[in-house]
Amino acid sequence: IAVTLDQKGCVYVPHVLGIMVGQPLKVVNSDFTTHNIHVMSKNNPQWNQSQPPGAAPFYKKFAHPEVMVPVHCNEHPWMKAYIGVVTNPLFAVTGQEGTFTIKGVPAGEYTLEAWTATFGTEEKTVTVHAHETATVDFTFHHE
């Protein structure tokens, strides 16, 4: 199943997305203007592709994990997005309230990493017990 990155109202929707290595990224232009999608990855080949209004969606894949891949529009410099490329399905992007849920996590001890564009990353260790819910809170501090 493809993960969609849309260009709508001259912003990327969503602003942050997660995708697995090898999973298709579907890039859509819902605007009436040309966009230039510039993916500035370090572990994967960079790409820079124009997409005029009304153009068909195009698809790309990432071969290597990388958190986070910045995406810019060379036509509209305020447009930014971030793509987290991971090797397993145990990831989430927070909702409007800053909450997230990762379902189907097997019992065990895990290191959970949270990332923000403003404050970087923070790690927490969490133990998941069989048939139970675990809660982890992250607090980012401005230095």
**Beta bridge pairs of residue 113:** 123
Predicted confidence band of residue 107 (pLDDT cuts 50, 70, 90): very high
- pLDDT (tens digit, 9 = 90+) per residue, 14-25? 999 999 999 999
CA separation for the pair 88, 43 (Å, rounded):
17
Tell me: pLDDT of 140 over 90.
no
Exposure string for 29-55, b = 16+ CB within 10 A, e = fewer: bebeeebebbbebeebeeeeeebeeee
- pLDDT (tens digit, 9 = 90+) per residue, 37-83? 999 999 999 999 999 999 999 999 999 999 999 999 999 999 999 99
Give the DSSP per-residue string, 45-88. Answer: --EEEEE-TTPPPEEE--SS-EEEEEEEESSSTT-EEEEEEESS
CB 38 within 8 A of CB 73: yes
Q: Tokens for 16, please give them.
A: 């942050």
Residues sharing a CB contact under 8 Å with residue 133, sequence separation 6 or more, in sequence order: none
CA nearest to 66, candidates 82, 89, 90: 82
The CB-side HSE value for 12 (13 A sphere, CA atoms) comes to 27
Tell me: pLDDT of 85 over 80.
yes
Predicted confidence band of residue 143 (pLDDT cuts 50, 70, 90): low
Q: Tokens for 68, please give them.
A: 């986070």
CA nearest to 71, candidates 61, 79, 81: 81
Q: For the chain, what is the mean pLDDT?
A: 95
User: Coil, helix or strand for 19?
Assistant: strand
> What pTM was estimated for this model as a whole?
0.91
